Amino acid sequence: MKLKKRSYLTLILFSLFIYACSDMDEMDEYKRYTNGREISYTEKMDSVNVFAGRNRAQLQGIVNADPKITNFRVYWNSKNDSVTVPVERSQGIDTLSVIIDNLPENIYNFEVRTFDDEGNQSIPVYITGNVYGERYQESLGNRRYISHSLIGSNLTIDYASMDLSSGVIGTEIAYENDEGGQSEFFVPIDSTNVILDDFLGGSTYSYRTLFVPEENAIDTFYTAYDEFTPQFQITDPPYFTNASFPFERIAYDGARWGTPAGWIHNAAALNHNGFGAMDGDIFDLESGWGQADIINGKVYQTMVLEPGRYVYTIDISEINYEGADNNLDKGYFTVAEGSTLPDVDDVETSDDVFAYERINRANGLLRTLTFTITEITQVSIGIQTTNDQGAGRFIKINEFSLNRITEAPYLRNASFPFDLAADGGRWGTPEYWIHNDAALSHNGYGAADGNVDDRFDLESGWGEPNIVNGKVYQVLYLEPGTYRYSIDIFATNYQGDDAESDNGYFTVALGDTLPDVDVVETAEEVLAWEQIHRDNLAPVLEFKLTQTSEIAIGAQTTNAEGVGRFMQVSEFTLEKVD
């Protein structure tokens, strides 16, 4: 039994001897590998990030405690490629960074190590990052616009939405401004529209869309430039805004002087300490009596007009301009092509001017300027003046108006079959004709009858409601001359013998509407009238205009007692006879 114990102890001692010898052999090998020195690690780079770029990437991190670091290395492509970056350490935390260029578009696994002068290195830091290139570029497209609206120098662009995951950040616009210079504007992706208030009408702008493929990327990608030439938005009648007393203002000095809303003005027109062109609620360009001179002051509106002949009318309240050949009151009513008025000194010679009149109290208080446009054109219309040397001058204006002169054949949609703006089956409403509610006596329709080939028809009775003071007409703006208004009646049973049952008229009146039926024969604004009667199926009305005038022309009736009445017209015509 003792022998067995002794053998077991001997076995343990022998094993320990063999292990010790093996450990000494490994230590000898380690010493040979490290030249007998202990291995030393440099501090590893911390907080490492990769920032994507276009065929490049930026790696960035920090080191803090190790002053011995002299460089760091970045490996990629299974350590087949690398870059070494020198490091100059400070006393504190240092940010280390490198941009690696000429990288093909791909996903990369990077390894980062720091080193000291003796070749000691840190343990590795691994990080993955993206590099973008042509594949990403080819996937990008310009932001799509929905619409453009160009009024004067104000260009409004509405945009469609985009897929934000593409990295889109916005659109860059390059354009020519209304002073002839070049401007740029950036539209962020979260903006659905932009207004450029200094766009040069008729010019072409360029635009491109910008993308950043991922947050904190070091490069921005751009689409190719596209170009677009916005078309002017035609200004609808009445053309002017805020053009009659009492004028609305956008600025007020709190006492007397203001600035009218909707009007463009230069600084010279604001001669009352930054306010101007309004005295109380009336339009007024005034200087003198302790107020500053107006030197080349301009107040106007810009609009886009279709081809045609136009009349610019100014209704003056009070004026003391004398129109003398000096700068005491050198004022003009002016119509000019483009987005502004010429300077006062150039009005009478400028090629841009369509029409002008020198302001003079001797001319009277109602002034008109006629001009012709042969193509769609941007036009500036207004008033301008130079009142120098402290001369007291004022011009107070009740109203500005602009009207397009109606050209022959004057009336639109004036013969059967009449085009319908609304169709309710048998009954319809003729297009281009103005009507009041009383004329729409067939459940909201009226003045056209499908049973007689869509002829014009004012009809009541036979189960249909009465017509009380119904009016159907067109508004025209006519030059001076004698005119003939003819009506070709297809059929009618009007007898013209009762003021309540069939009191109908064909009427021509000054202004933008017809008078009420019961005053047609006495109203001062009526130029001509003919009572509707079955014995006269081809009535003719003649009237004369001595000046360019707005007129209303059409038919009207009162059928108020449930009596069945109809008046079916095949054609209305208007012609100028001299």
Residue 371 sits in a domain whose CATH number is 2.60.120
Residues 2 and 71 in one domain: no
Residues 261 and 400 in one domain: yes
Closest CA to 387 of 330, 444, 449: 330
Question: What is 408-452 written as a DSSP string?
Answer: TT--SS-BSSPPEEEE-SSEEEETT-EE-GGG-TBTTB-EEEGGG
Residues 104 and 216 in one domain: no
* Residue 122 counted as domain residue: yes
pLDDT tens for the chain, 578 residues long, are 333 434 444 444 444 444 444 444 434 443 443 455 567 899 999 999 999 999 999 999 999 989 999 999 999 999 999 999 999 998 889 999 999 999 999 999 999 999 999 999 999 999 999 999 999 999 999 999 999 988 878 899 999 999 999 999 999 999 999 888 999 999 999 999 999 999 998 899 999 999 999 999 999 999 999 999 998 889 999 999 999 999 999 999 999 999 999 999 999 999 999 999 999 999 999 999 999 999 999 999 999 999 999 999 999 999 999 987 777 889 999 999 988 999 999 999 999 999 999 999 999 999 999 999 998 898 999 999 999 988 899 999 999 999 999 999 999 999 999 999 999 899 999 999 999 999 999 999 999 999 999 999 999 999 899 999 999 999 999 999 999 999 999 999 998 877 778 899 999 999 999 999 999 999 999 999 999 999 999 999 999 999 999 999 999 999 988 889 999 999 999 999 99
* Residue 353 counted as domain residue: yes
Residues 144 and 128 in one domain: no
| CA distance linking residue 296 with residue 223, whole number of Å | 46
pTM, to two decimals: 0.65
pLDDT of residue 13: 42
* Residue 352 counted as domain residue: yes
Show the DSSP H helices in 109-164 as ranges. 134-138
pLDDT of residue 18: 43
Looking at 369, 404, 439, which one is the last position of a domain?
404
| C-alpha distances in Å from residue 544, one per residue of 481, 505, 571 | 6, 19, 22
| CA distance linking residue 292 with residue 398, whole number of Å | 23
Element (H, E) at 20: helix 2-33
pLDDT of residue 37: 56
Residues 539 and 564 in one domain: yes
Residues 431 and 482 in one domain: yes
Looking at 354, 378, 404, which one is the last position of a domain?
404
Residues 284 and 361 in one domain: yes
* Residue 169 counted as domain residue: yes
| C-alpha distances in Å from residue 271, one per residue of 286, 291, 301 | 8, 7, 19
Residues 398 and 444 in one domain: no
* Residue 34 counted as domain residue: no
Structural domain including 288 reads 252-404
* Residue 172 counted as domain residue: yes
pLDDT of residue 323: 87
Residues 256 and 400 in one domain: yes
Q: What is the CATH number of the domain that holds 51?
A: 2.60.40.10
Residues 51 and 171 in one domain: no
Give the list of residues 6+ apart from residue 288 with CB closer than 8 angstroms, or none: 387, 390, 391, 392, 393
* Residue 415 counted as domain residue: no
- Indicate the residue type of 132: Y
pLDDT of residue 390: 85
* Residue 246 counted as domain residue: no
Looking at 111, 132, 153, which one is the last position of a domain?
132
Residues 100 and 64 in one domain: yes
Domain count, the chain: 5
Residues 127 and 145 in one domain: no
